[in-house]
Amino acid sequence: MRPAVRTAAALGLFGLLFRRSAPAAEPIDERARMLLDLPVGVLMLLDEDQRIQYANATLERFLGYSPSEIQGRPVGDLFEPADRARIQTLVHDHLPGDRTASGDFRGRRKDGTPVPLQVVVQSAVVAGMHGSKVSGIYLRDFAERERLVEALTLRGAELARSNRELEQFSYIASHDLQEPLRMVGSYTQLLEQRYGPKLDDDAREFLRYSREGANRMRELIDALLSYSRLDTRAEPFQRVAADEVLTLALTNLRGAIAQSGAVVHRTPLPTVEVDRIQLGQVFQNLIGNAIKFHGPNPPQIWVGAERRGAEWRFSVRDDGIGILPEYQERIFIIFQRLHTREEYPGTGIGLAVCKKVVERHGGRLWVESTGVPGEGTTFLFTLPVERPTLPVPRPEEADVRVKQSKVEAMSLIEERLKELV
Amino acid sequence: MPPSESTPRPVQILIVEDNPADARLVKEVMRDSKILNEIHWVPDGVEALDYLYQRGKHAGALRPNLIFLDLNMPRKDGRAVLSEVKADRELRRIPVVVMTSSQAEEDVARAYDAHANCYIRKPIDFEQFHQVVKTLENFWFSTVELPIR
């Protein structure tokens, strides 16, 4: 069980106990005690005079008092003198039935040392106690929260840095790899041009394979470069009509469309907030694939979008060769291909680019296909109707984001704490 | 090739490039040129300036009619060479073709700010490279008029 869930469960049980059971002196079921004593925080029950009726075993670890020695003492004894009035007010003013009240306090251990505590109060009127008000108190080590904030902040900063490094790495690697490759390719070509006629068939074949290898590697490096540019050369999001973006993509594909005799059926698309170049790439890659992997007849392609709650769901459907379900995961991985280059040319970058773009925009991309030829393939992707509140950072914004991450971590923890009470 | 009365003086081209294979590629493309040319190669910016100022082992160097300048080089890079050449009243007349694999848009802007005569991104494909060198040759030695000195 996650600590948060555990704590919530313990509090829930605690609530049940003090609402239903008779005075606190009555024995508590063993299973209930086990739960109450989970070392996640201090649980206490106070009577109307704010005297401690019950405390779980965690109290000793937190504050040094054993549950029995604290019984009957005012709750204020557990706090620094300066905070006593405040805690009394918090408990006193909290009305039965109110959700909860909470605050940060300075606790005081038995040995006199201070300890930061978060206090959560829940009150109820208990019939068994002659209709008097009782309060349940949950004490949580504040230092733990501080540590959590720190750890999260650090994690956020590390993540941002490693992301940035990764982006730089793939960009530099692909750029620097091009240089030696240019030499291999160029000199192989020069060799072929100048000495080809003097060489025998074997030598010319070997040279051809070298040149083809160099070309292939160049394609892969280009692909890697364009993939890494999705982050490094990203444009700010703008509101654009997806119809216009699609029209432009189809214009870019007009050669392939004319050659294959493809027919693209389109229905009106919404306006979305996107990097228009990147959305264009998604349309172009998906429709390009639909054309490339066609069946015996000229491809029929349907492009559309429908509203599903807070998202637009775009689809690109074709009547091509389909993709067997067992391969449907692999196709989104960079450089993964399902066919030989002789069957279908390509580097295996297109869908990886689509996936990265859609995810940058806060959406999802997936495929639906039976793999039966002629039944075709449908690629679906979502885009949020409203732009996500936290935009994906560009590398130059990463530093700012690291600074923000402490604030974000704080609010995340606040939220998590609210879930608990 | 010593110049004589009957043959025209070969055009002088200086290649400033740290990769000898790259420099050689230009030379190979220029080999079958219709224009008589002499290609000189220096591997970095320090030697490039020695060459242009005829210092040290380049004391007898002829002033080039065209400079091919790489940007990223050890010791002294192409950006420094470009600013020194364009700050010199004598040398600034020599057209400088910045030829680099740098993809940085900032490099392009800075090169023109420093009065580069043009900026070329080295094509990766050999055929295109061949074409680019031919185009440059044709432009600088057939199309445009260059100062005598």
User: Which string of DSSP letters, residue by residue, matches B39-76?
Assistant: EEEESSHHHHHHHHTT-GGGTTPPPPSEEEE-S--SSS
With CB atoms and an 8 Å threshold, state whether B101 touches A175.
yes
Return the half-sphere exposure (C-beta side, CA atoms, 13 A cut-off) of residue B108: 8
**Weakest-pLDDT range from A283-287, B16-20, B105-109:** B105-109
Q: How far apart are CA B147 and CA B66, in angstroms?
A: 11
Angstrom distances, CA of residue A154 to CA of A47, A142, A149, A300, B83: 43, 19, 8, 51, 44
CATH number for the domain whose boundaries are A235-391: 3.30.565.10
For chain A, the distance separating the N- and C-terminal CA atoms, rounded to the nearest angstrom, is 17
Cross-chain CB nearest to A183 (options B21, B28, B103): B21
pLDDT for the residue A264 = 94
Using a CB-CB cut-off of 8 Å, the residues of chain A touching B25 are 183, 186-187, 190
pLDDT for the residue A299 = 92
Q: How far apart are CA A54 and CA A22, in angstroms?
A: 13
pLDDT band at A393 (very low <50, low <70, confident <90, very high): very low
Position A193 pLDDT exceeds 80: yes
pLDDT for the residue A291 = 93
**Weakest-pLDDT range from A229-238, B20-29, B113-122, B139-148:** A229-238
Can you list the domains of chain B with their CATH numbers?
11-138 (3.40.50.2300)
pLDDT for the residue A418 = 52
Using a CB-CB cut-off of 8 Å, the residues of chain B touching A179 are 19, 101
Angstrom distances, CA of residue A12 to CA of A7, A35, A43, A48: 9, 10, 11, 21
> Greater confidence, A165 or A52?
A52
Which tokens hold the place of B71?
Answer: 């940007």
Position A5 pLDDT exceeds 50: no
With CB atoms and an 8 Å threshold, state whether A178 touches B124.
yes
Q: Distance of alpha carbon B35 from its chain centroid, rounded?
A: 16
Q: Which fold has domain A3-147?
A: Beta-Lactamase (3.30.450)
Residues B62-119 have pLDDT tens digits of 999 999 999 988 888 999 999 999 999 999 999 999 998 877 788 899 999 999 999 9
Position A103 pLDDT exceeds 80: yes
Using a CB-CB cut-off of 8 Å, the residues of chain A touching B26 are none
Q: Please spell the DSSP secondary structure of A344-388, one letter per residue.
A: S---S-HHHHHHHHHHHTT--EEEEE---TTT-EEEEEEEESSPP
* Exposed / middle / buried, residue A59 (Cβ in 10 Å: 0-12, 13-18, 19+): buried
Give yes or no for A195 touching B (CB within 8 A). no
Give yes or no for A190 touching B (CB within 8 A). yes
Position B55 pLDDT exceeds 70: yes
Q: How many residues does chain B have?
A: 149
Q: What is the rounded average pLDDT of the residues A22-34?
A: 65
Mean pLDDT, chain A, whole residue set: 80
pLDDT for the residue B63 = 92
For chain A, what are the domain ranges? 3-147, 235-391
Helices A142-195 & A201-232 angle (0-180, nearest 10): 150
Give yes or no for A179 touching B (CB within 8 A). yes
Sheet (strand A101-108) strand order: A52-55, A42-46, A132-141, A114-126, A101-108
pTM of the model: 0.56
Give yes or no for A218 touching B (CB within 8 A). yes
pLDDT for the residue A330 = 83
> Greater confidence, A26 or A137?
A137
Q: Which of A123-132, A172-181, A215-224 has the highest mean pLDDT?
A: A215-224
Other C-beta atoms lying within 10 Å of the C-beta of residue A273: 19
Mean pLDDT, chain B, whole residue set: 89
pLDDT band at A268 (very low <50, low <70, confident <90, very high): very high
pLDDT for the residue A135 = 83
Nearest one of B34, B1, B23, B22 to B141, comparing CA atoms: B34
Indicate which of A182, A210, A233 best probes the interface with B, i.e. most B CBs within 10 Å of its own CB. A182
pLDDT band at B147 (very low <50, low <70, confident <90, very high): confident
Which residue is listed with tokens 């054993």? A66
Q: What is the rounded average pLDDT of the residues A302-328?
A: 91
* Exposed / middle / buried, residue A235 (Cβ in 10 Å: 0-12, 13-18, 19+): exposed
Q: How far apart are CA A364 and CA B87, in angstroms?
A: 56
Q: What is the rounded average pLDDT of the residues A70-77?
A: 90
Q: How far apart are CA A337 and CA B92, in angstroms?
A: 54
Angstrom distances, CA of residue A421 to CA of A8, A78, A248: 7, 21, 53
Q: What is the rounded average pLDDT of the residues A388-400?
A: 45
Q: How far apart are CA A354 and CA A170, in angstroms?
A: 18
**Weakest-pLDDT range from A139-148, A256-265, A374-383:** A139-148
ipTM of the complex: 0.78
pLDDT above 90 coverage of chain A, percent: 29
Angstrom distances, CA of residue B138 to CA of B69, B114, B145: 18, 24, 12
Chain B: residues touching A (Cβ < 8 Å): 19, 21-22, 25, 28, 101, 103, 122, 124-127, 129
pLDDT band at A328 (very low <50, low <70, confident <90, very high): confident
Give the dihedral sign, CA A376/A359/A412/A150: positive
